[in-house]
């Protein structure tokens, strides 16, 4: 059975940790990985380059709407990046994810 990963960008480490902690504590995600990144993108008609932080969180499809809701409520960006991907992993890891998140 598959699960999803969600890629979320943040302006800094503190914001990434805060949102990740809320998601894990509320059992909306089983795990959050945090990475520093360099970004270049169009914003308000100009190319912007920033240092950002990405979280890659793992959860089940049914919790996607709640994750989006929590991120939007806690994120400082006007337009936070949240991209989900359906993925598959070894059976034991997928079982761990399903057993680590809230049952719906």
Parse the chain into domains and list their residue ranges.
3-100
The confidence score (pLDDT) of residue 1 equals 56
How confident is the model at residue 50, as a pLDDT? 94
Half-sphere exposure of 70 (CA within 13 A, CB side): 21
Q: CA 69 from chain center: how many Å?
A: 12
pTM of the complete model beyond 0.85? yes
Give the per-residue pLDDT at 104: 77
Task: Give the pLDDT of residue 2.
Answer: 73
Topology (CATH level 3) of domain 3-100:
Alpha-Beta Plaits (3.30.70)
pLDDT one digit per residue (tens) for the chain, 104 residues: 579 999 999 999 999 999 999 999 999 999 999 999 999 999 999 999 999 999 999 999 999 999 999 999 999 999 999 999 999 999 999 999 999 999 87
At 64, phi and psi to the nearest 5?
A: -50, -50
């Amino acid at each position: 059975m598959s699960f999803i990963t969600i890629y979320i960008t943040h302006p800094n480490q503190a914001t990434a940790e805060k949102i990740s902690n809320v998601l894990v504590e509320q059992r909306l995600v089983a795990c959050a990985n945090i990475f520093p990144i360099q970004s270049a993108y169009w914003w308000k008609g100009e190319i912007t380059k920033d240092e950002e932080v990405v979280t890659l969180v793992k959860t089940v499809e049914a919790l996607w709407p709640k994750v989006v809701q929590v991120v939007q409520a806690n994120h400082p960006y006007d337009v936070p990046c949240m991209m989900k991907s359906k993925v598959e992993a070894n059976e034991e890891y997928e079982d761990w994810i399903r057993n680590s998140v809230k049952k719906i």
